[in-house]
């Protein structure tokens, strides 16, 4: 294939949030000089991707539809845990260059692929976390404590577990996928709230961020904040080991007492800095994709 195209597939949607999507947008902005088409498993996200700096985006519904857009010999960055081993092997054979992003500490790199992982190291692997450049610029922290549950709450887990925040004065950052009636209820519960479009400002300007979004944790930490991670019962625990290494406090099972204890100790709690590896990331991707 003389002129292979480059695609980036990301699994995102109203049941899994936008963490992978935000990571994809970060990588595509870093590779701004490369012609990349973003393939989203959610049509709604594909429609608004341009607001995140993505020039080309297409909704593909399910991962099996990727070959309907991409051709044999094209290049693919793949950020999803949907595919089984057989499907991944087919992709490695279908694409001339295949870069996979994994959050699984028990994963392993296969032949004919390159891997980005916060856990693994070795040939053809980049050990890094993906965080946008804009979060490494510290801004004045004018919000004492903010709370961001995430960009998805299809089953209204937040409403069921609002007791987590008992006794805590917080500003609420609304997510992207809240239904209209649910959003109105949350606005009534929280005197100070921010719309989805204010995400960047809230993340960068919060002294303390309480969130169940692992990407928001990393972004707030990079910007000089003190994040607290809430591990959702319905979410995988892929980032717990990383957060422990960064000394990020973790709340399990929506325990209010655990959160209050963490907040009481916040002045003496020491966070570790997250590495700024974006130059390595760009270099790795350009070599891996043969750009």
Does residue 153 sit within a domain?
yes
Does residue 73 sit within a domain?
yes
Q: Looking at the structure, do residues 76 and 157 belong to the same domain, yes or no?
A: no
Does residue 90 sit within a domain?
yes
Query: Per residue of the chain (291 residues), what is the pLDDT tens digit?
Result: 678 999 999 999 878 889 999 999 999 999 999 999 999 999 989 998 999 989 999 999 889 999 999 999 999 999 999 999 999 999 999 999 999 999 999 999 999 999 999 999 999 999 999 999 999 998 999 999 999 999 988 888 999 999 999 999 999 999 987 777 788 889 888 989 999 999 999 999 999 999 999 999 999 999 999 999 999 988 889 999 999 999 999 999 999 999 999 999 988 899 999 999 999 999 999 999 999
Phi-psi group of 284: left, alpha or beta (phi > 0 → left; psi -120 to 50 → alpha; rest → beta): alpha
Task: Name the residue among 159, 135, 143, 169 with its Cα closest to residue 263.
Answer: 169
Q: Looking at the structure, do residues 94 and 194 belong to the same domain, yes or no?
A: no
Here the CATH number for the domain that contains residue 41 is 3.40.50
Does residue 115 sit within a domain?
yes
Here the CATH number for the domain that contains residue 205 is 3.40.50.2000
pLDDT at 1: 60
Q: Looking at the structure, do residues 230 and 282 belong to the same domain, yes or no?
A: no
Does residue 270 sit within a domain?
no
Q: Looking at the structure, do residues 160 and 208 belong to the same domain, yes or no?
A: yes
Helix axes 19-30, 278-288, angle to 10 degrees: 80
Does residue 222 sit within a domain?
yes
Q: Looking at the structure, do residues 141 and 86 belong to the same domain, yes or no?
A: no
Q: Which domain, by its residues, includes 188?
A: 134-264
Q: Looking at the structure, do residues 148 and 78 belong to the same domain, yes or no?
A: no
Could you please report the per-residue DSSP string of 26-60? HHHHHTTTS-EEEEES-HHHHHHGGGGT-SEEEE-
H or E element in which residue 207 lies: strand 206-211
pLDDT at 158: 92
pLDDT at 182: 85
Q: Looking at the structure, do residues 92 and 186 belong to the same domain, yes or no?
A: no
Q: How many independent structural domains does the chain possess?
A: 2
pLDDT in tens, 186-210: 988 898 999 999 999 999 999 999 9
Q: Looking at the structure, do residues 138 and 254 belong to the same domain, yes or no?
A: yes
pLDDT at 19: 96
- φ and ψ of 220, to 5 deg: -65, -40
pLDDT at 181: 79
Q: Looking at the structure, do residues 282 and 160 belong to the same domain, yes or no?
A: no
Q: Looking at the structure, do residues 60 and 139 belong to the same domain, yes or no?
A: no
Query: What pTM value is reported for the model?
Result: 0.95
Q: Looking at the structure, do residues 163 and 123 belong to the same domain, yes or no?
A: no
Q: Looking at the structure, do residues 139 and 106 belong to the same domain, yes or no?
A: no
Does residue 1 sit within a domain?
no
pLDDT in tens, 268-283: 899 999 999 999 999 9
Does residue 269 sit within a domain?
no
Task: Name the residue among 225, 235, 233, 234 with its Cα closest to residue 255.
Answer: 233
């Amino acid at each position: 294939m003389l002129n292979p195209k480059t695609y980036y597939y990301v699994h995102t949607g109203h049941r899994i949030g936008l963490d992978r999507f935000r990571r994809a947008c970060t990588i595509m902005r870093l590779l701004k000089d490369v012609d990349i088409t973003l393939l989203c498993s959610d049509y709604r996200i594909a429609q608004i991707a341009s607001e995140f700096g993505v020039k080309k985006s297409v909704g593909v519904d399910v991962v099996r539809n990727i070959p309907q857009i991409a051709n044999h010999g094209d290049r693919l960055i793949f950020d999803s845990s949907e595919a089984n081993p057989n499907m991944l092997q087919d992709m490695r054979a279908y694409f001339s260059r295949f870069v996979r992003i994994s959050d699984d500490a028990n994963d392993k790199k296969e032949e004919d692929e390159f891997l980005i992982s916060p856990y693994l190291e070795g040939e053809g692997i980049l050990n890094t976390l993906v965080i946008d450049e804009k979060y490494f610029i510290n801004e004045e922290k004018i919000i004492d404590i903010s709370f961001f549950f995430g960009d998805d709450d299809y089953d209204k887990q937040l409403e069921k577990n609002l007791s987590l925040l008992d006794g805590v004065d917080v500003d609420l950052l609304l997510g992207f996928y809240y239904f209209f009636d649910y959003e109105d209820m949350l606005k009534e519960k929280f005197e100070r709230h921010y719309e989805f479009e204010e995400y960047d400002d809230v993340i960068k300007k919060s002294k303390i961020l309480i969130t169940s979004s692992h990407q928001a944790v990393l972004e707030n930490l990079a910007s000089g904040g003190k994040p607290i991670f809430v591990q959702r019962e319905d979410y995988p625990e892929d980032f717990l080991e990383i957060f422990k290494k960064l000394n990020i406090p973790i709340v399990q099972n929506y325990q209010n007492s655990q959160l209050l204890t963490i907040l009481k100790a916040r002045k003496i709690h020491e966070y570790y800095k997250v590495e700024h590896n974006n130059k390595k990331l760009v270099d790795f991707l350009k070599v891996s994709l043969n750009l």
